[in-house]
Amino acid sequence: MTTNNVIFYKGTFTKSNGSNRTMYFVRTKDLPNTFIESNTANSGRTRTLSEGMETVWDLENQSWRTFNWTTANGNVETFTGSTEILNNFSTSNVE
């Protein structure tokens, strides 16, 4: 049995309200197409985001969120893990 891997990230950014948010996430470009298809509403509309903003899959909240690269604090860490983390993520497996 072959296990597929996915690249995921840990980054902290400053939200519009001034608070910091640390998020474990997968960039859309790193997600399997089947995952995207099964986790998006087929509304047919495209989101328009401000420069530096990116729609990502939040591993801890199991939903789409926006990561603000413009206000990122420090380095964004990169990890590789099994695609199983897309539906069953725990920070204890990372640190």
Average pLDDT over residues 33-57: 80
pLDDT tens per residue across span 16-37: 999 999 999 999 999 988 888 7
pLDDT tens per residue across span 56-87: 999 999 999 999 999 999 999 999 999 988 98
Q: In this prediction, what percent of the chain has a pLDDT beyond 90? A: 56
The Cα–Cα gap between 35 and 37 comes to: 5
The Cα–Cα gap between 39 and 58 comes to: 12
Bridge partners (DSSP) of residue 63 are 58
The Cα–Cα gap between 78 and 6 comes to: 11
The Cα–Cα gap between 56 and 59 comes to: 9
Determine the pLDDT at residue 42. 64
The encoded tokens of residue 66 equal 């926006």
Residue 50 has pLDDT above 90, yes or no: no
